């Protein structure tokens, strides 16, 4: 591009006010050359920058984020900015879906109820909406999985903590894979929640299945992507799965579900049922107790240190999980792998 364009011409080409170009210049995003009479002239490089800035603005990136991106266009930095956008859009979809469900309940209660019932219905729906949104928003990674990512694969081969819970790591992952692949068609879509470094997903990839991994830890996903370039990965959480309804025939998860407390688990089950097809199956391999009685019996035998380790997380009560899945019309089978490690098969 030999011709140099002045500010009026550039504004006309990009259909933006000339003031916007001056504003981006003031913020350091553009640096057009000055010609005779101190007029601005825009080169080919400036055109590319303007096009990039405008594209990022349509994605709602702040001027500060764009400036950061233009200064440092390394892959990790660019990905980070898009992840920010992805999270914002996904959060907003979940909030809107919750509000829509709540409105539906209110409208149904107005149709169905007498006048007294209407107020009660509205209050109940508003309370439910608040409580769901609070649960969804409040989950935090208090274990800092990003910092564990690089050493994770090595540490599962050794003793972890006082309970040695990864002693049968491979057996657990193999069992989950075998249970999940029963009756699975090659064309079926599989979701691995809390994919970590991708070890479970890879068992499906090796057999030619299409699998998507989701995790809240970017560092874990980076390790997974380096190991398995064919693995499709998405940033997301159990409580805010970034997928449409009925997207997967099968959901699997290992060593991840115990990072949710009882209330969060119920919401996670609701989320899994939402993204699962009607006939879909779920296989969860994780730390669990058979029921409250067996938890008490185990606590009686264990040392203080071991109990503290258990209480740092939220091991499931299988009887409670079973009850919850039954509400969705599902059947639950359970297989014990180790004292505290079970595979729960939901179909
Ligand atoms: C102990 S690792 C297990 C990784 C892998 N599934 C495996 O079996 O090796 C737990 C993983 O679950 C992820 N995780 C924990 N809570 C999560 C949540 N609420 N939503 C999404 N991922 C979560 C963590 O970031 C971490 O990568």
* Residue 18 domain-assigned (yes or no): yes
Q: What is the pLDDT of residues 261-299, one digit of tens each?
A: 999 999 999 999 999 999 999 999 999 999 999 999 999
> Which residue from 158, 175, 191, 196 has its CB within 8 A of the most atoms of ligand 1, so it is best to mutate?
196
Same domain as 326, residue 203: yes
* pTM of structure: 0.86
Same domain as 61, residue 34: yes
Same domain as 132, residue 17: no
| Structural domain total, the chain | 3
pLDDT score of 1 more than 70? no
Q: Read off φ and ψ for residue 29, nearest 5 degrees.
A: -80, -30
Name the pLDDT band for 84 (thresholds 50, 70, 90). Answer: confident
pLDDT for 330: 98
Residue 218 sits in a domain of what CATH number? 3.40.50.150
CA 256 / ligand 1 centre spacing (Å)? 4
Same domain as 309, residue 333: yes
Q: What is the pLDDT of residues 224-263, one digit of tens each?
A: 999 999 999 999 999 999 999 999 999 999 999 999 999 9
Mean pLDDT (whole number) for 128-140: 95
Sign of the C-alpha dihedral, residues 92, 94, 100, 106? Answer: negative
pLDDT for 294: 95
> What single DSSP character describes residue 65?
H
Same domain as 202, residue 168: yes
Same domain as 199, residue 55: no
pLDDT score of 110 more than 90? no
* Residue 45 domain-assigned (yes or no): yes
Residue 92 C-alpha from the chain's centroid: 14
Among 46, 71, 96, residue at a domain's last position = 71
In terms of residue numbers, what domain contains 308? 145-346
pLDDT for 158: 87
Same domain as 207, residue 100: no
Q: Which residues line ligand 1 (CB under 6 A)?
A: 139, 145, 194-196, 199-200, 215-217, 220, 237-238, 254-256, 259-260
């Amino acid at each position: 591009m030999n011709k140099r364009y002045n500010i009026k011409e550039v504004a006309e080409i990009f259909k933006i006010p000339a003031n916007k170009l001056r504003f981006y210049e003031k913020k350091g995003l553009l640096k057009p050359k000055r010609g005779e009479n101190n007029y601005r002239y825009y080169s080919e490089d400036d055109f590319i920058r303007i096009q990039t800035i405008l594209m990022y603005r349509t994605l709602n990136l702040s001027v500060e984020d764009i400036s950061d991106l233009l200064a440092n266009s390394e892959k990790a930095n660019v990905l980070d900015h898009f992840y920010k956008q992805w999270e914002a859009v996904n959060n907003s979809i979940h909030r809107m879906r919750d509000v829509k469900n709540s409105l539906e309940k209110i409208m149904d209660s107005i149709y169905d109820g007498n006048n007294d019932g209407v107020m009660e219905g509205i209050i109940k729906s508003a309370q439910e909406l608040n409580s769901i949104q609070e649960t969804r928003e409040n989950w935090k990674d208090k274990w800092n999985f990003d910092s564990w990512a690089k050493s994770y694969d090595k540490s599962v081969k050794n003793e972890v903590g006082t309970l040695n819970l990864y002693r049968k790591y491979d057996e657990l992952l193999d069992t989950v894979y075998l249970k999940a692949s029963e009756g699975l068609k090659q064309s079926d879509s599989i979701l691995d929640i809390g994919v970590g470094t991708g070890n479970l997903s890879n068992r499906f990839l090796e057999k030619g299945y299409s699998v998507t991994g989701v995790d809240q830890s970017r560092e874990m996903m980076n390790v997974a992507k380096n190991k398995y370039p064919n693995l499709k990965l998405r940033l997301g959480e159990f409580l805010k799965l970034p997928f449409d309804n009925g997207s997967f025939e099968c959901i699997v998860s290992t060593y991840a579900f115990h990072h949710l407390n009882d209330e969060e688990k119920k919401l996670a089950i609701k989320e899994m049922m939402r993204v699962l097809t009607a006939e879909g199956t779920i296989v969860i391999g994780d730390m669990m107790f058979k029921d409250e009685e067996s938890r008490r019996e185990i606590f009686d035998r264990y040392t203080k240190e071991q109990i503290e380790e258990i209480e740092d997380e939220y091991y499931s009560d299988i009887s409670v999980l079973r009850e919850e899945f039954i509400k969705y019309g599902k059947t639950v089978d359970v297989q014990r792998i180790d004292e505290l490690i079970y595979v729960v098969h939901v179909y």
